[in-house]
Amino acid sequence: MVGFRNNKLFIVLFIAPAFLIVTFFEMVPVLSTIYFSFHDWPGIASAPLKFVGWRNYGYIFQDEQFLRSLRNVLSYVFWSVIGQVGLGFTLALMIYHVTRGTRFYKASFFLPLVLPATSVALIWYFILFPTDMGVVNHVLDWLGLDGWKRAWLVDKSMAMPWIIVITTWTSIGYYTTIGLAALSGLPDEVLEAAQIDGAVGLRRIWSVIIPMIWESIKISVVLVITGVLKIFDIIFILTDGGPNGATHVPATLLYKEAFEYNNYGGGSAIATVIFLLSITLSLFSLRVMRSDKMEA
């Protein structure tokens, strides 16, 4: 064993696969994207790359559509953290305290996660269908709330909230599962000691359970942030960024710019912004949660 550790060839051989994968499938694409974001190229093999400096960034940050997509994604991140992590962990706590039918609840909340995005989009398209054929409008009609009926996904003020609801519905099971895994790891003796000391009900959850599963909450928040910043499929299928750009997020704009408008430099600039935003928000949230934990 010691011989292996001292053999440099073995060390290189063991590290090489991971190193090559990370280098060629993560580092090179990221660095190439940053490189291309400073160039203009119309998507034609024979057309040369033209260095344009910061122009692509200037262009996207002057573009109202892109700025709106940034606002959209930030509110998307905020509500998703609340919805997916907050609600997901709350559900986990509830299931944890339920003694019967636990498997059923787990399966129910996890089910949407295994559905393909296309199926999720279709299900919700029919739920939100703009006429009385839509489940939501049909129920409102049945309740006599005609005035509340909407063409939900083409209502500028409602389309984005619905996208957030749909994503939350799809992903909540994942965070419930993480929460349940964290809760199942709690030592019984600590919980019993807390109970003897008088920590029951909300006090027990707030002062004992949450601090003990805080690391799982932190990683969940980071996963939600990075996941939402990359979200593409549901929006692409359900609204294609509409109505009139109201549900665009940077990822859907990236696709449009690069693959539909042949603006590969602009698309790369948006990809770089998503990358930087993802790192910044993740670090920021970890920092905030670290201070919270200290205070707690």
Partner 1 sequence: MNRLLIVGLALVFILAGCGKSNSGSNSEAGTSNSGTSSGSSAKQDAGGQKVQISIMTRWGESDPLAPFLNEVIEMFEAEHPNIEVINESISEEASYNNKLKTSIATGQTPSIFYWPGVAGIVEWAENGVLMDVTPLLEDKEWSDGFISGAFEIWNMEKYGVPGHYGIPIGFNPEVMFYNPVVFEQAGITKLPETMDELYETIDKLKASGVIPWGVGAKDTWRAGHIHNNIFYRLIGVEAAKELGTRQKKWTDPDVVETFALFKDLKARGAFQEGFEGVDHNTERSDFLNGKSAMILNGAWAISEIIASDSPYKDQFRFFPFPYFADKPEYKSDSVLYNDVLFISGTMEGAVKEAAIEFVKFLTGKEMQELKLQKYGRLPSRHDVQASEDAPQILKDMVQYMGTIQNPGGDIHDYDPNPAIIDVIRNSIIGMMLGNTPEQTAEEIQKAIDQYEQRKG
Of 69 and 257, CB closest to partner 1 = 257
CA dihedral 74, 79, 85, 89 (to 10 degrees): 170
Q: Residue 232 interacts with partner 1 (CB under 8 A)?
A: yes
| Separation of alpha carbons 178 and 224, rounded Å | 12
- Please answer whether residues 163 and 120 qualify as being in contact, where contact means their C-beta atoms are separated by less than 8 angstroms: no
Nearest to 220 by CA among 103, 113, 120, 83: 83
- Please answer whether residues 289 and 214 qualify as being in contact, where contact means their C-beta atoms are separated by less than 8 angstroms: yes
Of 79 and 162, CB closest to partner 1 = 162
Of 240 and 286, CB closest to partner 1 = 240
N-term to C-term CA, the chain: 45
Going residue by residue from 245 to 264, which x/- string records binding to partner 1, judged by CB under 8 A? x-----x--xxxxxxxxxxx
Task: Give Cβ neighbours of residue 43 (< 8 Å, ≥ 6 apart).
Answer: 258, 262, 264
Q: Which stretch binds partner 1 (CB under 8 A): 7-15, 66-74, 191-199, 224-232?
A: 224-232
Q: Which stretch binds partner 1 (CB under 8 A): 30-38, 77-85, 179-187, 195-203?
A: 30-38
Task: Please name the residue ranges forming H helices in 83-241.
Answer: 88-97, 102-114, 117-127, 135-142, 159-184, 188-196, 201-204, 210-212, 214-229, 233-238
12: enclosing H helix or E strand? helix 8-22
Amino acid making up residue 160 = M
Q: What part of residues 78-137 is at the interface with partner 1 (CB under 8 A)? A: 117, 125, 128-131
Structure-token pair, residue 107: 């399966």
Of 159 and 213, CB closest to partner 1 = 159
Q: Which stretch binds partner 1 (CB under 8 A): 89-97, 139-147, 265-273, 278-286?
A: 265-273
Q: How far is the CB of 153 from partner 1 (least distance, A)?
A: 5
Count of residues near partner 1 by CB under 8 A: 58
Q: What part of residues 136-165 is at the interface with partner 1 (CB under 8 A)? A: 151-156
Q: Which stretch binds partner 1 (CB under 8 A): 6-14, 34-42, 78-86, 207-215?
A: 34-42
Q: Residue 9 interacts with partner 1 (CB under 8 A)?
A: no
**Out of 6, 62, 99, 291, the residue judged to bind partner 1 by CB under 8 A:** 62
* Residue 147 DSSP class: G
**Out of 136, 271, 273, 281, the residue judged to bind partner 1 by CB under 8 A:** 271
| Separation of alpha carbons 8 and 274, rounded Å | 39
Q: What part of residues 160-219 is at the interface with partner 1 (CB under 8 A)? A: none
Residues, the chain: 296
Q: Which residues contact partner 1 (rule: CB under 8 A)? A: 25, 28-29, 32-33, 36, 41-49, 55, 59, 62-63, 117, 125, 128-131, 151-156, 227, 230-233, 236, 240-245, 251, 254-264, 267-268, 271
